[in-house]
Amino acid sequence: MSEQDEKYMQMALRLAKRGVGKVEPNPAVGCIIVKGNQIVGKGWHKKFGEAHAEIMALEDCKTLSVTPQRATMYVTLEPCCHQGKTAPCTQAIIEAGLAKVFVATIDPSKHNNGKGIEQLRNAGIEVQTGICETEAKLLNAPFIKFASTGKCWTVLKWAQSIDGKLAYDSSTAIPSTSLGTGLAVSSRAPSPCHEGVAVPRWISNELSRKDAQNLRRRVGAILVGINTIISDDPLLTVRPSRANMPLRIVLDSSLRIPLKCKLLRTAKKSPVLIITSRQALQTNSKTADRIAKKGAEVIAYPDMQGRSNLYFLLDELARRGIAQLLVEGGPTVIASFLKERFVDELNVYICPKILGAQGNANITESLSELSYEVSFRHVDIKRFGEDICITGFSEKTLRELSIIERTENEEDRSSGPADHTDDRAGG
């Protein structure tokens, strides 16, 4: 594999990225076709349900009036060999008469998982795998997790002040100079749910909030705790809207959700799921009926026998085929996901403000009982005006998915009890 091959695959990866936020729960895939040192076709999977990257690239060859016969293909994911919403890509590649295919990484789906590569090889096409493999796996890590384990990829997202506050304190007066109004107070957003709230006050700036919208575009469900609904009254929708809107989930163990909140007012247009306790469902059955009439679904946790309710939630999401979940707060909910180690990806917006007593919902306090460290890898830092956003993947997840290598300790554990007879560290 040459430097040039790697360059072409990097190009294909850049094309693939254009599909993020539009193709999910499918993977984002890019493809380049090269003939005689010239790029003759480019393609990427543009939208869920539409043509795959390879088909787009083969079609693209027509614009240059070049036949892809005897050409080389660089594709970021193993070509599919099944009839899905579209016809198998392997068939199209074989029929087009390509000589060689470079594949960055395997598609671990049941319908593929090496079978696509095998089909190409059986047809006499040379296939080389593993080029830019880590980048390709990172790009589709949520897809890889769901396809190989059936479990949903969990993204935790919050915006905080430098002193760790996720919201403004609604009982604190603010100076008129900062908002141009008298004593108007609110938390992160304007809230018609309760009296006395008039002015939107966000922790993060508009650019950060726009970026957070991109996260929502990727996922099948967005989750918040009931306190976030009561204090912020968020809509939790994707704007501009898309055909299959993410499921909006509220963890509300006592059924405290205000019937007039934005979420319930829009439940008929965009699905809402309220998860509560069995006790609340029994004692407030009329409230549950009213919520259901608004178009929301209400379900109760089963008896978890001491295990966290989040196990039920994640099983339920898997059952519904939801591949990615975005957890948007507040601090109690975020901490409960971290306590159970249910985090695959992190997005934290840090805003240049120290809120002191004007701040509320302190993430640092909620996390103070976490008994272990959670580490993130492949970290990136982006700037949005004067806000910054730190993103990263859970180290544990990346190891479990073999995206990064397991440590020696982990390998010891998986190959049985460690033999300490030659322990030179001396224990």
For 2-95, where are the E strands, in sequence order?
30-35, 38-44, 72-75
Q: Cα–Cα distance between 18 and 45 in angstroms, integer?
A: 8
CB 31 within 8 Å of CB 73: yes
The yes-or-no answer on residue 54 being catalytic is yes
Q: For residue 377, which phi and psi values (nearest 5 degrees)?
A: -130, 170
Amino acid letter, 258: P
Q: Cα–Cα distance between 331 and 165 in angstroms, integer?
A: 9
Asked whether position 85 contacts ligand AOF by CB under 6 A, the answer is yes
Binding window for ligand AOF (CB under 6 A); candidates: 85-93, 195-203, 215-223, 298-306: 85-93
Among 24, 42, 74, 79, binds ligand AOF (CB under 6 A): 79
Q: Cα–Cα distance between 224 and 328 in angstroms, integer?
A: 5
Please count the residues of this chain forming the interface with Zn ion, following the rule CB under 5 A.
3
Asked whether position 52 contacts Zn ion by CB under 5 A, the answer is yes
Tokens standing for residue 147: 């396809």
DSSP letter assigned to residue 109? S
Among 32, 39, 57, 89, binds ligand AOF (CB under 6 A): 89
Q: Cα–Cα distance between 25 and 48 in angstroms, integer?
A: 8
Supply the minimum distance, in Å, between the C-beta of residue 268 and ligand AOF: 28
Asked whether position 108 contacts ligand AOF by CB under 6 A, the answer is no
Binding window for ligand AOF (CB under 6 A); candidates: 59-67, 106-114, 154-162, 188-196: 106-114
Asked whether position 42 contacts Zn ion by CB under 5 A, the answer is no
Among 9, 12, 15, 29, binds ligand AOF (CB under 6 A): 29
Asked whether position 115 contacts Zn ion by CB under 5 A, the answer is no
Sheet holding 126-129, edge to edge: 38-44, 30-35, 72-75, 100-103, 126-129
Q: Name the one residue in this structure whose structure tokens are 């705790």.
A: 225
Q: Name the one residue in this structure whose structure tokens are 């290598």.
A: 405
Among 20, 66, 86, 378, binds ligand AOF (CB under 6 A): 86
Asked whether position 27 contacts ligand AOF by CB under 6 A, the answer is yes
Among 72, 105, 112, 154, binds ligand AOF (CB under 6 A): 112
DSSP letter assigned to residue 347? E
Q: Find the catalytic residue in 24, 54, 78, 328.
A: 54
Asked whether position 60 contacts ligand AOF by CB under 6 A, the answer is no
Contact residues for ligand AOF, defined by CB under 6 A: 26-27, 29, 45, 52-54, 77, 79-80, 84-86, 89, 107, 109, 112
Contact residues for Zn ion, defined by CB under 5 A: 52, 80, 89
By annotation, the residues acting in catalysis are 54
